[in-house]
């Protein structure tokens, strides 16, 4: 059976009411489309734990900065829908911008503390855009569980806190990062990379893994992180936003690795910004 595509909040709610009325659990997989195996891992995890899975495809304008790639962001709904169907999804919510942000829209969700480091420094307003749209999607769908990737680890923690603080009764589930054969975290933006840039990009997870392994001995992190930044530059990364050791719950920087430490990085290859993270202990 072809999966249903709905474009309005009313139709989404009617479809999910139907599932829940039949006593079925429902999982939600929010995406911006341009799907790859990382997104499908979320759908697979959702299908494993919920009877029904609804995916959303919405390129959320409010999480893009003025100089970011909103206009160029890849869009291919027919391909995305076919992939979601093959992954066992039951429903796709693909609204237009006006459905999500009608005229007069005036509310923003801001999660303080977790958003002032890492990508929060380099992408002002990004996490407000994310928290606002995800709060809306969770309220619109009213699902049992919603699935997000650890690839965007800061985003996952921001969403967890937002859902807890706003008493949204949906369980937030994190799914491990899906990687290419050389370790590069899958991302819709990887398609921007030229072959030469793609070869350089694969070095980011390798450096992170090496530094994470080295840091598990409990020595101060700063010298090794500085060395890693120099190595990334020497390898061809054009700009390094950050390489930082943080506590994975608070996302605050820490000087020496301990339980729950995680290494976070954001760096450009050419004009493409890559992010990744790696657990330390
Ligand atoms: P996006 O379409 O990039 O906004 O991502 C939608 C969801 O897919 C987010 O929860 C991401 O964290 C997740 N995701 C993206 N790439 C990966 C990946 N390589 N592995 C696991 N999850 C991912």
- Is pLDDT of 1 > 70? no
Compute the distance between CA of residue 101 and CA of residue 62 in angstroms, rounded to an integer: 10
Going from the Cα of 187 to the center of ligand 1, the distance in angstroms, rounded, reads: 7
| Site residues for ligand 1, CB cut-off 6 Å | 31-32, 38-39, 41-42, 148-149, 151-152, 175, 177-178, 185-188
Going from the Cα of 43 to the center of ligand 1, the distance in angstroms, rounded, reads: 11
Confidence of residue 2 (pLDDT cuts 50, 70, 90): confident
> How much is the pTM?
0.98
Going from the Cα of 155 to the center of ligand 1, the distance in angstroms, rounded, reads: 10
pLDDT, the chain, mean: 97
- The helix (run of H) or strand (run of E) holding residue 137 is helix 126-141
Compute the distance between CA of residue 225 and CA of residue 242 in angstroms, rounded to an integer: 10
By alpha-carbon position, which residue is closest to atom 7 of ligand 1? Answer: 31
By alpha-carbon position, which residue is closest to atom 14 of ligand 1? Answer: 149
Query: What's the burial of 23, exposed, middle or buried (CB within 10 Å: 0-12/13-18/19+)?
Result: exposed
Q: What is the pLDDT of residues 123-161, one digit of tens each?
A: 999 999 999 999 999 999 999 999 999 999 999 999 999
Q: What is the pLDDT of residues 4-56, one digit of tens each?
A: 999 999 999 999 999 999 999 999 999 999 999 999 999 999 999 999 999 99
Ligand 1 probe mutation, 46, 68, 92, 149, most atoms within 8 A of CB: 149
- Is pLDDT of 278 > 80? yes
Q: What is the pLDDT of residues 79-126, one digit of tens each?
A: 999 999 999 999 999 999 999 999 999 999 999 999 999 999 999 999
Q: What's the mean pLDDT in 69-73?
A: 94
Compute the distance between CA of residue 5 and CA of residue 54 in angstroms, rounded to an integer: 10
Measured from the CA of 189, which atom of ligand 1 is nearest?
3
What share of the chain has pLDDT > 90, as a percent? 97
Going from the Cα of 219 to the center of ligand 1, the distance in angstroms, rounded, reads: 32
Beta strands, E only, the chain:
4-6, 26-31, 52-57, 91-93, 145-149, 171-175, 239-247, 261-269, 272-279
Establish whether 126 is a catalytic residue. no
């Amino acid at each position: 059976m072809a999966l249903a595509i709905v474009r309005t909040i009313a139709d989404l709610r009617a479809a999910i009411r139907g599932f829940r009325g039949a006593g079925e659990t429902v999982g939600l997989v929010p995406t911006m489309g341009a799907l790859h195996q990382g997104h499908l891992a979320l759908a697979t995890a959702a299908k494993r734990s919920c009877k029904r899975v609804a995916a959303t495809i919405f390129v959320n304008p409010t999480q893009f900065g003025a100089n970011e790639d909103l206009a160029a962001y890849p869009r291919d709904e027919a391909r995305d829908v076919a992939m979601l169907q093959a992954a066992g999804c039951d429903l796709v919510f693909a609204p237009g911008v006006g459905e999500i942000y009608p005229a007069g829209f005036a509310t923003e969700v801001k999660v303080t503390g977790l958003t002032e480091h890492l990508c929060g420094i380099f992408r002002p307003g990004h996490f407000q855009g994310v928290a606002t749209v995800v709060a809306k999607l969770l309220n619109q769908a009213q699902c049992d569980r919603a699935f997000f990737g650890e690839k965007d680890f800061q985003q996952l923690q921001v969403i967890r806190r937002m859902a807890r603080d706003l008493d949204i009764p949906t369980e937030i589930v994190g799914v491990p990062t899906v990687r290419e054969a050389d370790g590069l975290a899958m991302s819709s933006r990887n398609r921007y990379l030229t072959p030469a840039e793609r070869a350089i990009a694969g070095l980011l997870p390798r450096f992170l893994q090496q530094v994470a392994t080295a840091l598990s001995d409990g020595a101060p992190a700063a010298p090794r992180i500085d060395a890693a930044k120099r190595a990334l530059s020497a390898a061809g990364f054009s700009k390094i936003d950050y390489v930082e050791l943080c506590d994975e719950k608070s996302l605050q920087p820490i000087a020496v690795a301990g339980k729950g430490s995680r290494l976070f990085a954001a760096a450009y290859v050419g004009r493409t910004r890559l992010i990744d993270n790696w657990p330390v202990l």
